[in-house]
A and B are shown apart, each in its own frame.
Chain A
Amino acid sequence: MIVYLVRRAGQSVLAVVAMAVLVFLGVYAIGNPVDVLINPEATQAQIAATTQRLGLDKPLWQQFGIFLGNAIHGDLGTSFVYGRPALDIILERLPATMELAVVALILSVGLGVPLGVWAGLRPHGLAGKTIMGGSILGFSLPNFWQGMLLILVFAVLLGWLPAGGRGQTTEFMGLEVSFLTLDGLSHLILPAINLALFKMSLIIRLARANTREVCLQDYVKFARAKGLSGRRVVMVHVLKNIMIPVVTIIGLELGSMVAFAIVTETVFAWPGMGKLLIDSINLLDRPVIVAYLMLTVLIIVTINFLVDVIYSLLDPRIRLSEMKG
């Protein structure tokens, strides 16, 4: 098990380094780093100072060393717009994005798994077909378009919920959160649904396909032949088997949720790091872009790592073969 963990951690580090190389090449080798990383309005002296600090006059491989060294120390450059370290600005926005992503994940799993299992148990019923039809729409329609429709219906036409912003926040375990106040919650609902819909559709499809497959297995029939209640067969025998692929996809999708949040945050003017990224792109605040990218890569790789570990804990077969191997 430990061998497996170490090997898997090594792969993760490798992935982060690979992305760092790509980002570095993108910024330093393809573009002119002086243009990319130094504020266009800087004076000649400031340019000289930054050039020296980043080692831009040194050979490429030394520059990479400095870039990596700075990155490890959390120095990903200074924002042109805010004049403060880029990483700090992003980290300030991180809780808002995380709140949105976590609530959306809970929604998509909490609704997606039961709906998918239901559709899988009765694939030819009306409910099963409706659920599948809905999931195809949720799956294929662009996220921003779904968000716009939500705003059009619930904010503009019905006027039930606010169209954007984060609303009132309160402190919870040292973080600013929305979900504890009524105002905050009303601002949270639409963006969270928007972000959840796509993942939910994925989870429904996956849960349905797996439920159908598992239900055909002899061990489900055997469980019924043992006289177990239908409830126990579904809740234990079926669910435990479909949770393996579902957990995998949930984990992988949590990472991509951070990325998809860019769209949702833009549509709903949600003050998270995704909105910050789009604003920074429009303002050409490149250090923030680079910092955002490095941080997101780190988050995604970490999540993928954790998912693999959980996966191996869930499936006894994997656990054994990996321990041997």
Chain B
Amino acid sequence: MTNSIASDLEPVGTPGPVRIDSPVRRVAKEFVEDPVAVVGLVLFVLIALIAILAPWLAPQNPYDLAQLDIMDGGLPPGEVSFGTGDTYWLGTDQQGRDMVSAIIYGLRISLVVATMSLGIAITIGTVVGVTAAYFGGKLDSFIMRIVDLQLSFPAILVALILLALLGRGVDKVILALVIVQWAYYARTVRSSAIVERRKDYIDAARCLALSNRRIMFRHLLPNCVPPLIVVATVQIAQAIALEATLSFLGVGVPITEPSLGLLIANGYDYLLSGRYWISLFPGIALVLTIIAINLVGDRLRDVLNPRLST
């Protein structure tokens, strides 16, 4: 009790004017109180913009073979092209590809895969989770059995085996990520929906003969949004890392559409011979992206879960 002394008591006297902010405003206000999280957010927005604007930002199109000059192969950072005289700020790979451009395009593919799988997995997970919480009983325990079973196996293993059987491809990576991620969302949504489900107003809504769908999505779902956001930020960072890992292992995206993970893998063989830049810089881009998302996610968790903050 000693720690709650200060919060136990309300001041006496006339209460000052209280402004009631909307939840979004409150979250935004508290979010910006942590400068580290703001740095993370700015970094993430920047990275996302770079990925979106890749075709306009990249000095060359790294996959247009006509633009590549084999003479420029394996140049270290800061060297000048033999042909065009452009500076390769981050060096080139074996085919003479500008690493800046390769990273910008690679970032784009990494983020596309992660956000697409995130969107699909959230949709599936939410529908399944709300359904389980709303109907309860046998259906609920059956669904949760599947979720538990799925979550008891490491995501990397499941994704790897799926891709081993399906083969490479951006669509297949997305499918694999959806399959390993939907269960997290289903569990999150279900656990917050079930708390809400037990409240009296849901029974009241039922008495009013509102349709099941309306109760589920208009009443239960909004209460699941804060935890869902927290899980989603963690999961999108995980998805990016997982995709990079899969591509690194050679079962992810195809050679023609290299993500950051594949760029790292391609440069890996040259790492030992001292051409570190082919692998290192895509790696740094990957790591910055993941750290930025995690910084934002950590802060969101504190802000959306006042119970946990001390």
- A: which residues have CB within 8 A of B? 15, 18-19, 26-27, 30-31, 136-137, 140-145, 148-149, 151-152, 155-156, 163, 216, 252, 255-256, 259-260, 262-263, 266, 277-278, 281-282, 289, 293, 296-297, 300-301, 304
Find chain B residues with CB under 8 A from A148 CB: 264, 268, 271, 279, 283
Find chain B residues with CB under 8 A from A260 CB: 154, 156
Q: How far is the CB of B154 from chain A (nearest CB, A)?
A: 4
Partner of B165, one of A19, A27, A149, A301: A27
Check A140 against B286 for contact (C-beta < 8 Å): no
Find chain A residues with CB under 8 A from B250 CB: 278, 281-282
Find chain B residues with CB under 8 A from A142 CB: 241, 244-245, 248, 261, 286-287, 290
Contact with A along B274-298 (1 / 0, CB 8 A): 1010011001001100110010001
Check B160 against A152 for contact (C-beta < 8 Å): no
Q: A31-B165, A163-B272, A216-B3 are in contact. Are A15 and B149 (CB under 8 A)?
A: yes
In the docked arrangement, what's the CA distance between A191 and B90, Å? 29
Q: How far is the CB of A11 from chain B (nearest CB, A)?
A: 9
- B: which residues have CB within 8 A of A? 3, 149, 152-154, 156-157, 160-161, 164-165, 237, 241, 244-245, 248-251, 261, 264, 268, 271-272, 274, 276, 279-280, 283, 286-287, 290-291, 294, 298
Find chain A residues with CB under 8 A from B3 CB: 216
Q: A141-B290, A142-B286, A216-B3 are in contact. Are A296 and B248 (CB under 8 A)?
A: no
Find chain B residues with CB under 8 A from A266 CB: 248-249
Check B244 against A255 for contact (C-beta < 8 Å): no
13 A-B residue pairs with Cβ-Cβ distance under 8 Å, sorted by A, are A142-B241, A142-B248, A142-B287, A144-B248, A152-B280, A256-B156, A256-B157, A260-B156, A263-B245, A266-B249, A277-B160, A281-B164, A282-B250
Find chain A residues with CB under 8 A from B237 CB: 140
Check B271 against A300 for contact (C-beta < 8 Å): no
Check A140 against B272 for contact (C-beta < 8 Å): no
In the docked arrangement, what's the CA distance between A255 and B165, Å? 22
**Nearest residue, chain B, Cβ from A266:** B249
Partner of B271, one of A143, A156, A263: A156
**Nearest residue, chain B, Cβ from A142:** B241
Q: How far is the CB of B174 from chain A (nearest CB, A)?
A: 18
Partner of B294, one of A15, A136, A281, A296: A136
Check B287 against A141 for contact (C-beta < 8 Å): yes
Check B157 against A140 for contact (C-beta < 8 Å): no
Q: How far is the CB of B310 from chain A (nearest CB, A)?
A: 8
Q: A142-B241, A278-B250, A297-B153 are in contact. Are A262 and B160 (CB under 8 A)?
A: yes
Instruction: List 8 A-B pairs, minimum CB-CB distance, nearest first.
Output: A256-B154, A259-B157, A259-B154, A142-B241, A281-B164, A140-B294, A144-B248, A140-B290
In terms of DSSP, what is the predominant structure of the interface of chain B?
helix
Q: How far is the CB of B81 from chain A (nearest CB, A)?
A: 27
Find chain A residues with CB under 8 A from B241 CB: 140-142
In the docked arrangement, what's the CA distance between A15 and B245, Å? 27
Interface core residue of A31, A145, A163, A282 (most chain B CB under 10 Å): A145
**Nearest residue, chain B, Cβ from A257:** B154
Check B156 against A259 for contact (C-beta < 8 Å): yes
Q: A144-B248, A145-B283, A282-B250 are in contact. Are A304 and B152 (CB under 8 A)?
A: yes
Find chain B residues with CB under 8 A from A145 CB: 244, 264, 283, 286-287
Check B164 against A300 for contact (C-beta < 8 Å): no
Beyond A262-B156, A293-B161: 16 further Cβ-contacts under 8 Å? A27-B165, A142-B241, A142-B286, A142-B287, A144-B244, A145-B244, A145-B264, A145-B283, A145-B286, A252-B152, A255-B154, A256-B157, A259-B160, A263-B248, A277-B160, A277-B164
Find chain B residues with CB under 8 A from A19 CB: 153
Find chain A residues with CB under 8 A from B249 CB: 144, 262-263, 266, 278
In the docked arrangement, what's the CA distance between A300 and B155, Å? 13
Check A15 against B286 for contact (C-beta < 8 Å): no
Interface core residue of A27, A142, A151 (most chain B CB under 10 Å): A142
Find chain B residues with CB under 8 A from A140 CB: 237, 241, 290-291, 294
Q: How far is the CB of B177 from chain A (nearest CB, A)?
A: 14
In the docked arrangement, what's the CA distance between A137 and B244, Å? 16
Q: How far is the CB of A165 from chain B (nearest CB, A)?
A: 12
Q: How far is the CB of B162 from chain A (nearest CB, A)?
A: 8
Find chain B residues with CB under 8 A from A163 CB: 272
In the docked arrangement, what's the CA distance between A155 and B272, Å? 8
In the docked arrangement, what's the CA distance between A119 and B298, Å? 18
In the docked arrangement, what's the CA distance between A186 and B283, Å? 26
Find chain A residues with CB under 8 A from B153 CB: 19, 259, 297, 300
Interface core residue of B157, B286, B298 (most chain A CB under 10 Å): B157
Interface core residue of A19, A277, A281 (most chain B CB under 10 Å): A281
Q: A145-B283, A278-B250, A281-B251 are in contact. Are A26 and B165 (CB under 8 A)?
A: yes
In the docked arrangement, what's the CA distance between A156 and B274, Å? 8
Find chain A residues with CB under 8 A from B276 CB: 152, 156
